[in-house]
Amino acid sequence: MSVLLRADNLVKHFPIRQHMFGRETAVVHAVDGVSFELRAGETMALVGESGCGKSTVGRLVLRLLEPTSGKVWFGGEDLTALPPQEMRSKRRELQMIFQDPYSSLNPRMTVEQTLVEPLALHGLAPGRHRERAAELMDLVGLAPQYLQRYPHEFSGGQRQRIGIARALAVEPRLIVCDEPVSALDVSIQAQIINLLQDLQRRLGLAYVFIAHDLAVVKHIASHVAVMYLGHIVEYADKRGLFASPRHPYTQALLSAIPLPQPGARRERMLLQGDVPNPIAPPSGCRFRTRCPYARERCAQEVPALRDSGGHSVACHFWEEIAPPAAAVADVAVNERLVRLQAAFRTTGVSKEVETI
């Protein structure tokens, strides 16, 4: 399958004024040199602590934010070079699903108006808007008779389905899913994840999936990029990443997952200190202020993201660092996954199982 999306050395710096009345400005280094590729029908997960830059990458990909430098290629076309008018019509192919569907839906518009608006904007389904809105409701597992209702009349899971239907209205090829299930209960999470996977199979969609729940990531992603303070520190297919995490930060994320058995203990890799200020990130390796393996070289030299057998890592010493209890960490992910999958099986794919 050919590459659908390519992010090429993306950088996003936000200038801020440090004093209310002064001219002194500083720069927040939100994203610094992020590159990756995504093929049609694949899902790439972006994971990391809040503030690591993953949501900014999602918005840069859709050009909802202009990059400070770097390029985004979509279907062989440089999106960053498109004039605003062309970008508006191109955006039909790139959509976004938000964490909180309620705040992204207009409370004064019925579901039908919400779904018809993008159709009218892009001149799609002329003369059959109502029919197409009903098809979209069916596609996401909601009954078309709810088309005349307002967002507040739906549950959180149903509102997320409406958000997905609105994204699908314009027949996109790529969807950026920004924490789409993190505000939902586990059983509802399972329904939405199942729905997204089913839609991917049927429509050949590619997803950039932004998340912090590693069990959900393991279920849905084909590849995983781990971000820390604006950099990708590890990138691999999900099997490689969960079975053998190479970067100390990834190892710490995995070891932080609680074991499901009551009373069970395992060695946890605790990180020292807080995430550094993105206005003045550490020299060399940005993770060095919290890394238990940091040495002098780490302060002087930025580790490049180097590929070894299809598994990339940005650490000078990764070959010397054994993954501590990685298998145990993976068991923890797997056990949570088993519980999620049980929920996935019982909830099915696109049935509407919630009541209004």
Residue 323 interacts with ligand SF4 (CB under 6 A): yes or no: no
Contacts of 281 (CB under 8 A, 6+ apart): 29, 32, 229, 230
Residue 324 interacts with ligand SF4 (CB under 6 A): yes or no: no
Q: Nearest distance from residue 290's CB to ligand SF4, in Å?
A: 8
Q: Which is nearer to ligand SF4, 17 or 295 (CB)?
A: 295
Q: Nearest distance from residue 252's CB to ligand SF4, in Å?
A: 10
Query: Which of 284, 98, 66, 276 lies closest to 182 in space, CA to CA?
Result: 98
Q: Which is nearer to ligand SF4, 66 or 274 (CB)?
A: 274
Separation of alpha carbons 119 and 92, rounded Å: 10
Q: Nearest distance from residue 237's CB to ligand SF4, in Å?
A: 21
Contacts of ligand SF4 in 233-272 (CB under 6 A): 248
Q: Which is nearer to ligand SF4, 166 or 231 (CB)?
A: 231
Segment interacting with ligand SF4, rule: CB under 6 A, options 59-67, 270-278, 287-295, 323-331: 287-295
Q: Which of 214, 269, 291, 329 binds ligand SF4 (CB under 6 A)?
A: 291
Q: Nearest distance from residue 311's CB to ligand SF4, in Å?
A: 15
Q: Nearest distance from residue 227's CB to ligand SF4, in Å?
A: 14
Task: Answer for the pair 271, 289: CB distance below 8 angstroms, yes or no.
Answer: no
Q: Nearest distance from residue 272's CB to ligand SF4, in Å?
A: 12
Segment interacting with ligand SF4, rule: CB under 6 A, options 73-81, 128-136, 209-217, 286-294: 286-294
Q: Which is nearer to ligand SF4, 267 or 320 (CB)?
A: 320
Q: Which of 316, 333, 337, 352 binds ligand SF4 (CB under 6 A)?
A: 316
Residue 288 interacts with ligand SF4 (CB under 6 A): yes or no: yes
Contacts of ligand SF4 in 294-313 (CB under 6 A): 294, 298, 303
Edge-to-edge order in the sheet of strand 306-308: 94-97, 174-178, 206-210, 43-47, 223-228, 231-237, 311-313, 306-308
Q: Nearest distance from residue 287's CB to ligand SF4, in Å?
A: 5
Segment interacting with ligand SF4, rule: CB under 6 A, options 45-53, 87-95, 314-322, 338-346: 314-322
Q: Which of 113, 256, 317, 341 binds ligand SF4 (CB under 6 A)?
A: 317
Residue 281 interacts with ligand SF4 (CB under 6 A): yes or no: no
Residue 73 interacts with ligand SF4 (CB under 6 A): yes or no: no
* Number of residues lying near ligand SF4 (CB under 6 A): 12
Q: For binding to ligand SF4 (CB under 6 A), which residues are involved?
A: 248, 285, 287-288, 291, 293-294, 298, 303, 315-317
